[in-house]
Chain A
Amino acid sequence: MIEVGLTHFLVISAALFSFGIYGVVTRKNAVMVLMGVELILNAANINFVAFARYGNFGLNGQIMALFIIILAAAEAAIALAIVLNIYKTFAHVNIDEIDNLKE
């Protein structure tokens, strides 16, 4: 039985971060991109908590994780509102085609 240690958490976190990045970069749908961002944030959360658990930082890591959750909620609320407005304007949420500011 392998004892679960810091490395396992970090591997999970890295994998989650990579999935998040992959989602952000490859998805065309704005909602899917937002979901990628959520994954990245949560990867960071896992890192914070893991380091808090195995490191000597007191409760700093947990506090920071709570901040990030709040931040993610706020971000999701605002970002979804923007996506809704994009949908209202363009009738789709394909971010490849939303390049009106270009040139």
Chain B
Amino acid sequence: MSEILLINLSILILFLPLAGFGVVILFGKRFSKLYLFEQGIITLAFILSVIVAVVKLSSYVNQDILFAFTWIDFGNVPMLGELKIDLGIKLDNLTVIMLFVVNLISMLVHHYSVEYMKGDAKYNRYFAYLGIFTFSMLGIVLTDNILMMYIFWELVGLSSYLLIGFWFEKDSASDAGKKAFIVNRVGDIGMFIGILILFATYQTFSFDAIYEKISMGIIPFDSGAWLTAAGILLFMGAVGKSAQFPLHVWLPDAMEGPTPVSALIHAATMVAAGVYLVARIFVMLTADAMLVIAVVGAFTSFIAASIALTQNDIKKVLAYSTVSQLGYMIMSLGVGAYAFAFFHLVTHAFFKACLFLGSGSVIHAMHHEQDIQKMGGLRRKMPLTYLSFLISTLAISGIPLTSGFLSKDGILAGTLAFGSLTGHWLIPIFGFTVAMMTAFYMFRLVILTFHGEPTDKHKFDHAHESPRLMVYPLVLLAVLSIFIWYTPNPLAPNQGWFLSSWVKTPQTVVPQDLRFEFMQSTETGTGIVHSEMYEHAMHWAHYPAMILSVILAGLGILLAFMMYQWKKISPDKFAEKVKPLYNLSLNKWYIDEIYQSTFINGTLILSNFLAWFDNTIIDGIVNGSATVTRLFSRISGWFDNYVVDGFVNFTAFFSGFIGLSFRRIQTGKVQTYIVFVIFSVLILIILL
């Protein structure tokens, strides 16, 4: 298959969901069966993306396929020279893998939603929104330049707003939609400034062109600090989209959306976009920027995992676990374990989508009950859901033989290597703690939901396994969470095709003095190795990380079983002992409250002040000028009435008076007139 065909196919994949959106949103009200069209479209897009991925990974595995066209040609701009904006598509291994993942999850969510959303009043519109969301996400994945990425980035923000706030009749849902949108905006401003810094320096938006110029030693304003700033500002976009601290607050609230939407947005796509962005800009990150990213990621994963420990809403637990896992990926990119970050992005997409869809299945069966305290024993009623949920839980906890074990282990090894090379040991400590907490809260979730005795007998009796169309995505995703798809050896991810041939750490372009010492690229027989020093450290850290993470995960699981299955330790008594910590976790570190009292109340105070200013000062000025005007008009009115009118009336009166007095002369007697004539003539004669 030729390159041009691949490009055409990927453009087709990009625009198919948009076409679906357009048709369904326009005609969905008239034809109630139109959602089937959207189903067909997304299935077709998935099949095409499989073809593209297979062809790309088999025939062009070491070659990027590029396609670009000039969007706007400004010609010769004064002071800048030739300026034009190119848009284009870049198909590299990252792109086609993401293409596959996004389309797969999107398709499964589409199929799943057919049953889950049955009976909803806005059924067709829901599928239209899914279509535009998929379109936006594919745009981010396919683009070869940061401008187009920003455009689709905002489109993702818009469509996620529509989906999260889908049940906008509920105040909480519309609030969550707004919160997601506004919080994302904060990050996007940073990203936009970052883009502007790059464009001002390089006059191009294309990733490859920018990196080529950086590698030639051209950096913004000839200062490494600006390059760091550009990297961190672009990362701010990822902080918003990937829900990193301090902008993670929107994601848990976004659980107000329909559950399949959570699976789509919060597992595989929207939140992955941030990680994907950081992966795209990875090569231009300076040492300082990477450190910031690593610390933000580590702190996020820790804070989110600690909150997930005590949540009782099944979706909230998964939401915080998502934030925590995204923190892992970001941290992994920050410590330089690029390939593992992307690997984790893919594996996490599958098992987290499975978990979300599984929770949707449970919620569906329990008639929209989301509190895990009121569940239990569902294992017997929903065996398939339970099994797939369990496999995904094992994967997210990092138990051997699962995909999660491979990627998580790689990330932890990366942090250990980073610690040993730079001395930042706090990052691996966070990483390992989170691994243990993840295993604990995930098994707490599984045990409370599926094991033990039902706490709500009535709802339990009505629970049933979900329809086949809802179960098959779960099973498929659970199967994809097993190691065999990624590597033949379940203990060595490096030997798998995913990491050995598909995804490799790219060569950094940052000047020598700005990058970490260990980020030296060296040519070896098998191609460019990203850094020999780092590889050594990773190799050294591989087994300790693996053993430690398995032990910690095992401990976490054991603790969960002790507390909730065998009830050897009472969770309540334990919570009582660490009351302050428990409250901190239960109240989500009071971050929402802090935002409420600082930013939101600050904004309100500012708005109130401005309203007061408007009402008193501005309106005062306006009203004052009105009063003054009125005063003036009154004076001028008086002047008109008395002076001007008086003058006019006086003129009239005077004329009348004169007329009256002269009237007497007009006697009507000819003789009198003649006398006048004669005297006048006489006077004239005398005068002359």
Contact = CB atoms under 8 A, between A and B. Distances in A.
Contacts, number: 23
Contacts of B666: 102
A21 B678 contact: yes
Nearest to A30: B670
Interface in A69-103: 95-96, 99, 101-103
A24 B671 CA distance: 7
A25 B674 CA distance: 7
Nearest to A26: B671
Contacts of B658: none
- Report whether over half of chain A's contact residues are helix, strand or loop; otherwise say mixed: loop
B514 to A, nearest CB: 113
A65 B341 CA distance: 140
Interface residues of B, number: 9
Contact of B668 (A21, A25, A102): A102
- Return the 10 tightest CB-CB contacts between A and B, nearest first: A102-B668, A99-B668, A25-B671, A25-B675, A25-B674, A24-B674, A96-B669, A21-B678, A95-B670, A24-B671
Given A95-B669, A99-B667, A101-B668, 20 more contacts: A21-B674, A21-B678, A24-B671, A24-B674, A25-B671, A25-B674, A25-B675, A25-B678, A26-B671, A33-B671, A95-B670, A95-B671, A96-B669, A96-B671, A99-B668, A99-B669, A102-B666, A102-B667, A102-B668, A103-B668
Contacts of B669: 95-96, 99
Contacts of A21: 674, 678
Nearest to A96: B669
A26 B671 CA distance: 7
Nearest to A103: B668
A102 B668 CA distance: 6
Contacts of B671: 24-26, 33, 95-96
A95 B678 CA distance: 19
Best-buried of A25, A95, A99, A103 by chain B (most CB within 10 Å):
A25
A101 B669 CA distance: 10
Contacts of A101: 668
Contacts of A26: 671
A6 to B, nearest CB: 20
A82 to B, nearest CB: 12
Interface in B630-688: 666-671, 674-675, 678
Contacts of B670: 95
Contacts of A95: 669-671
A13 B343 CA distance: 144
A27 B670 CA distance: 11
Contacts of A99: 667-669
A24 B678 CA distance: 11
A101 to B, nearest CB: 7
B400 to A, nearest CB: 131
23 contacts: A21-B674, A21-B678, A24-B671, A24-B674, A25-B671, A25-B674, A25-B675, A25-B678, A26-B671, A33-B671, A95-B669, A95-B670, A95-B671, A96-B669, A96-B671, A99-B667, A99-B668, A99-B669, A101-B668, A102-B666, A102-B667, A102-B668, A103-B668
A25 B677 CA distance: 11
Contacts of B668: 99, 101-103
Nearest to A99: B668
Contacts of A103: 668
A103 B663 CA distance: 11
A95 B669 CA distance: 7
Contacts of A96: 669, 671
Contacts of A24: 671, 674
B408 to A, nearest CB: 122
Contacts of B667: 99, 102
Interface in A11-33: 21, 24-26, 33
Interface in B38-73: none
Contacts of A33: 671
